[in-house]
Amino acid sequence: MTDASTQSAAHATAGHDSRGGEWWRTAVIYQIYPRSFADASGDGVGDLAGITGRLPQVAELGVDAIWLSPFYTSPQKDGGYDVADYRDIDPLFGTLDDFDRMLDAAHGLGLKVIVDLVPNHSSDQHEWFQAALAAAPGSHERSRYIFRDGKGSEGSLPPNNWQSVFGGPAWTRVPDGQWYLHLFDSSQPDFDWANPEVGDMFVDVLRFWLDRGVDGFRVDVAHGNVKAVGLPDVDAEMVEAGSMESPFFGQEDVHEIYRRWHEVLAAYDGDRVLCAEAWVSPLEKMARYVRPDEMHQAFNFVYLETPWDAARLRDVIDHSIRAFGEVGAPSTWVLSNHDTIRHRTRLALVPPPTHGAGIGPTSASKADPTVSLRRGRAATALMLALPGSAYVYQGEELGLPEVTAIEAHQRQDPTFHRTAGELWGRDGCRVPIPWEADAPAYGFSEAGASWLPQPPLWAELARDRQEGDAGSTLELYRSALALRAEHSLGSGELEWLDVGRTALAFRNGDITVVANLGHDAVDVPRGEIVLASSPLDSASLAADEVVWVRTH
Ligand code: NOJ
């Protein structure tokens, strides 16, 4: 790589001092999906006490914060994203005391704690929705949700053509003939944010958790709260062609909500943070959620959805840093979460699966296990060298693949059931994770119980098998996180180097990163190799390998 030439420079931190406050600008945040992390009660579902017990191992990984998916009172029709009481803990997960203990333990270990907030919809068991059902059409109680009369004679057709994200119509009829809107499962009625009571309630909820000491919120469906006036039909072709905005996602007025929340958080000490789950594109539109008076971070799903392709990755990295930088926000990077096929599998699937379909035992898309592990590790090594903040999803540090061997009757994702199995859904990335190779339920639950079946492969991937093994994925993550901190890569600047069409190389401070996404061998630059995503066989990089080299 002696002919390397500087291609472009991009700035991650837009003039902010990341060494001082605003920890979130450079943080690595570890996502815990409580149902599947660690089960202390022995019922096969993870819980808060289980999380507390395993926190030292999270801290040892070298992350800065944890984000917990919902643990609130919920009938669990959508893994807890159907909240019946925003101010309490579901007995499945424990109690408010358990929460306080978990929070104290995390803070004691130097970990910030972000909790999930679900403002687009509640559970149908929420007291407001129960009151709405008991009240008459046109009542005050119904005005907190989106109830409408149907179309057609006798109103027997839904009020418009919107479809649920999980499949099927987005409307369900109640016995008195009205319909209510649910962009997700029928057990998740959408709030009507035009009613100021809804906004006031959520400000109270924010304060409830801020007062308890949380460091921030991940905001579910942040692009969905506000619907277009008049609830017009979707013209799918026009939305696709970009000539019509979705009438239910990405409406301009959602930003008002986050400006208010920004003020709520700013009144608290410490750097409390709001992170948007906003599936909008292009990145400029996503960046609007993190303007200086709104949220702080947004998940970079454009990056997550980019295939393992050098040119496309370079493009999305540049575009992200530029788009977020223009509003003074850091870019985030994310490869896996509880809604997507684990990246260790996803990036190697042939043929690539249909977006959002998931994979199952009879899917045409398959990933070669060796290629997929190499590629998954390489993708992580690339991501963790980028300036900004990164999210890591529980189990990816073990190299867990997506689990496909889950029988229909064991599947719990409403996506699978609402589409009669046409879409596999997200259970495959939610299987309880393995801690100990030889323990019951691989150390997830002493009772040996697990709400989704764990595959035999979990033994060799268990954390205790990987600990101390220099070639393991766990140790790769640990080393990468330690080096990222040591070399301040999160607050660095990225400078591209030219290494041909199927590889990527950039400098970030004194680290040069080279990634080989093609088949031709790529030279490793001179210097000290401080990280290699796979053991290097020669002086050059083979396919699906990434190295970090200390160059000066
Ligand atoms: C996004 C969450 O991440 C997902 O798990 C959930 O099903 C939907 N929002 C609905 O809340």
pLDDT tens per residue across span 125-161: 999 999 999 999 999 999 999 999 999 999 999 999 9
Q: Tell me how far the alpha carbon of residue 28 lies from the centroid of ligand 1, in angstroms.
A: 22
Q: How many Å apart are CA 341 and CA 228, to the nearest integer?
A: 31
Counting every residue, how long is the chain? 552
- C-beta 221 within 6 A of ligand 1: yes
Confidence of residue 538 (pLDDT cuts 50, 70, 90): confident
Long-range contacts of 436-441 (CB under 8 A, 24+ apart): 436/462, 436/463, 436/464, 437/462, 437/464, 437/465, 441/39, 441/44
Q: Token match 């333990």: residue?
A: 105
Beta pairing partners, 333: 390
Q: Is 303 in the pocket of ligand 1 (CB under 6 A)?
A: no
Choice from 31, 68, 78 to test ligand 1 binding pocket (greatest atom count within 8 A of CB): 78
**Topology at the third CATH level for domain 127-181:** Oligo-1,6-glucosidase; domain 2 (3.90.400)
Please state the atom number of ligand 1 nearest to the C-alpha of residue 78.
7
Residues 6+ apart with CB under 8 A from 399: 344, 373, 376, 377, 461, 472, 473
CA of 312 to the centre of ligand 1 (A): 27
What number does the ligand 1 atom closest to the CA of 221 have? 9
What confidence tens digit (pLDDT) does each residue in 88-99 have? 999 999 999 999
Confidence bin at 349 (pLDDT 50/70/90): very high
Confidence category of residue 14, pLDDT binned at 50, 70, 90? very low
Q: Is the CB of 220 under 6 A from ligand 1?
A: yes
Q: Which of 81, 191, 426 has the most ligand 1 atoms within 8 A of CB, as the residue to mutate? A: 81
* Residue 240 pLDDT: 76
Write out pLDDT tens, residues 200-247: 999 999 999 999 999 999 999 999 999 999 999 998 887 777 767 799
- Which ligand 1 atom sits closest to the C-alpha of 82? 11
Please tell me whether the peptide bond between 351 and the residue prior to it is cis, using omega within 30 degrees of 0: yes
Res 16 pLDDT > 50: no
Q: Whose CA is nearest to atom 2 of ligand 1?
A: 220
Contact present, 226 and 260 (Cβ < 8 Å): no
Peptide bond just before 414 cis, omega within 30 deg: no
What mean pLDDT, rounded, does the chain reach?
Answer: 94
Return the bridge partners of 114, or none.
67, 216
Say yes or no: CB of residue 184 within 6 Å of ligand 1: yes
* 156 DSSP assignment: -
Any idea which of 129-138, 178-187, 530-539 has the lowest mean pLDDT?
A: 530-539
Q: Where are the domains of the chain?
A: 23-120+196-357+371-393, 127-181
> Which residues, including other chains, have CB under 8 Å from residue 513's CB and lie 6 or more apart?
381, 382, 385, 504, 505, 506, 507, 546, 547, 548, 549
CATH class of 23-120+196-357+371-393: alpha beta
Catalytic one of 47, 64, 90, 220: 220
Surface-to-core class of residue 229, CB atoms within 10 Å of its CB (0-12 exposed, 13-18 middle, 19+ buried)? exposed
- Residue 170, pLDDT > 60, answer yes
Considering only CA atoms, which of 479, 511, 485, 486 is closest in space to residue 497? 511
- Please report the atom of ligand 1 found closest to the CA of residue 183: 10
Q: Which pLDDT belongs to residue 245? A: 78
Averaged pLDDT, 118-122: 98
Predicted TM-score of the model (pTM) = 0.95
Two structure tokens written together for 214: 């949380």
What pLDDT does residue 264 have?
A: 98
pLDDT of res. 355: 78
User: How many CB atoms lie under 10 A from the CB of residue 537?
Assistant: 9
Write the pLDDT tens digit of every residue in 411-440. 999 999 999 999 999 999 999 999 999 999
Smallest CA separation from ligand 1 atom 11, residue: 81
How far lies 199's CA from each of 182, 258, 267, 278, 524, in Å?
18, 10, 18, 19, 54
The CA 360 to ligand 1 mean position distance, Å, reads 20
Q: Shortest CA distance to 353 belongs to which of 369, 336, 367, 333?
A: 367
Residue 28 pLDDT grade (very low, low, confident, very high; cuts 50, 70, 90): very high
Q: Give yes or no for residue 339 CB within 6 A of ligand 1.
A: yes
Active site residue 220: yes
Is residue 464's pLDDT more than 60? Answer: yes
State whether the beta carbon of 30 lies less than 6 angstroms from ligand 1: no
In this structure, the residue with its CA closest to atom 10 of ligand 1 is: 81
Tell me if residue 396 is catalytic: no
Beginning with the edge strand found earlier in the chain, give each strand of the sheet holding 528-532 in spatial order: 6-11, 493-497, 503-508, 511-516, 545-550, 528-532
